[in-house]
Amino acid sequence: MYSRPIKILVKRYKLLITAGIVGSVLVLILSILISPLEYKADAQVLIISQSRLGVDPYTVVKSAERVGENLIQIMKTEDFLNKVAEQNLSIYKEFGFQDLETRDKRKLWNNSTSASVVYGTGVLNVSAFHKTPETAEKLAKAVVDTLVVRGWEYVGGDVVIKVINNPVATKYPVRPNLPLNVFAGFVFGVIFMGLILVRKFR
């Protein structure tokens, strides 16, 4: 029942590979045209909860993690963006935030930055994205500097935020994920051509 379609595909494997390559190239071109290549810059801050007498280290770390989770949500807000602008107006203008409506401004901000907590450590990873690695590093630095200087306004004065790793940009673009897209294009091309061949020669 299944032997004939398999024989058809094996016999015309070169055509399948060609279709896969064509699919990869098309997806690669579309990825570059639709979404500009962007670099990522990563920085880390350490959240230190001022421990009260008698509080065990585990509880202190868990408290820092909760603070980090709160900061991740805070970083998505327009209020935090405004504080970043106060901290570094040049980067705010470089991204063109001042020319955007509120909705577009929030969308660009959330697309340009992200953060995550390293659980069990109290470390907060901060990432920034841009078409040039230098600008990505500038934005990441502006964000962590704002966290250090103004973060207490969101989490209280009993928390200290310290930069432990300055921003470093990737050597190559990370968005869109070209290797993954190319692989998906290859698989799609192979499957698409396989279906055509099976229908034609069965």
Angle between helices 178-201 and 13-34 (to 10 degrees): 140
Nearest to 195 by CA among 5, 2, 33, 3: 5
Chain centroid to Cα 165, Å, comes to: 18
pTM for this one?
Answer: 0.79
Which residues have CB under 8 Å from 113's CB, separation 6+? 75, 126, 127, 128, 129, 139, 140, 143
Residue 199 has φ and ψ, to the nearest 5°, of -70, -35
Which of the residues in the chain have pLDDT under 70?
A: 1-3, 5, 8, 51-56, 58, 201-202
- Sheet strands side by side (includes 39-49): 113-118, 123-130, 39-49, 159-169
108-165: per-residue pLDDT in tens? 999 999 999 998 888 999 999 999 999 999 999 999 999 999 998 998 778 899 999 9
- Neighbour count for residue 60 (Cβ, 10 Å): 16
pLDDT at residue 53, rounded to an integer: 54
pLDDT value, residue 52: 60
Q: Which residues are registered as beta bridge partners of 123?
A: 46, 118
Task: Give all domains of the chain, ordered by start, each with its CATH number.
Answer: 3-34+178-201 (no CATH), 39-169 (3.30.70.1130)
pLDDT on residue 139: 95
